[in-house]
Structure 1
Amino acid sequence: MTAAIRTVLGDIAPSELGVCDAHDHLFLRSPVLPGQELDDAGAALTELDAFAALGGRAVAQWTPWGLGARADDLPALSRRSGVHIISATGAHQAKHYDRDDLRRVYDGLAGLFVHELTGARTRAGMIKVAGAYHRLDDHARHVIAAAAEAHHATDAPIGVHLEGGTAAMDVLRLLCDTHRVPAHRVILGHAQRFPDAESHRRAAEAGAFLAFDGPSRAHHGTDWLLLRGLTALADSGHAPRILLGGDTTTSAARSGADGPGMPFLLSGLRPRIERDLGVDTAAMIFVENPARAFAANWRS
Structure 2
Amino acid sequence: MTIYVDLLFFDNFIMNFIILWIVDRLSGCNANPWRLAAAAAIGALYVIGSFWPTLYFLNNISFKLVLSAMMILLGFHIERWRDFLRLSAVFYMVTFLFGGVAFGILYFTNQNFMLANGGFYIHGYPVVTMIIAAVFAYIITGYCWRYMRARLDRKRLMMSAEVALDGKVVKANAMLDTGNVLHDPISNYPVVIAELSCIKELLPDALASIIQAGNEADIGAIMEALNESPCMLRFRLIPFNSIGQSNGMMVGFRPDYIKVFTPEQTIESKEIIIGICNSRLSQDDAYTMLLNPGLII
TM-score grouping bracket, smaller chain normalisation:
under 0.3
Return the TM-score normalized by structure 2: 0.23
Higher strand fraction (1 or 2): 2
* TM-score (norm: length of structure 1): 0.23
Please tell me whether Structure 1 or Structure 2 has the larger radius of gyration of its CA atoms. 2
